[in-house]
Amino acid sequence: MSMFSFLRQRIGAGWYLLTSKPRISVSIRGRGGMVYGEGSRKMRIRCEWLVGPTHDITVDAASIVCWEPPFEREEVTYADRKRICANISHALGGYKIAWEHAAEPG
């Protein structure tokens, strides 16, 4: 059983997926961008929707590097990237994800 579940709401051009505790959000903007959030911190992550039988979306794990202001000075560690990838995988649970530049953490 998961420690949290996502509520999916359609907002504009992207899906906004949100939890209550801990508060995690994944907003996919159009065809090529994602905004990931934990509480009041947010970061932009490169992604692209795909059409094909093997994957629905490609996420560039190498773009998980820094939080947006005012949290840009907080270091994003390997453990943070691993947690963020796992949260994205959980949020997009019904989709087949291809991870670029890093293996999906298991």
**Three-class DSSP category at 97:** strand
Q: What is the pLDDT of residue 53?
A: 85
Which region among 5-14, 69-78, 95-104 has the lowest average model confidence (pLDDT)?
Answer: 5-14
Q: In residues, how long is the chain?
A: 106
Greater pLDDT, 52 or 3: 52
**pLDDT tens across 62-97, in order?**
999 999 999 999 999 999 999 999 999 888 887 889
**How many other β-carbons are positioned within 10 Å of the β-carbon of residue 33?**
15
Q: What is the pLDDT of residue 40?
A: 93
pTM of the model: 0.77
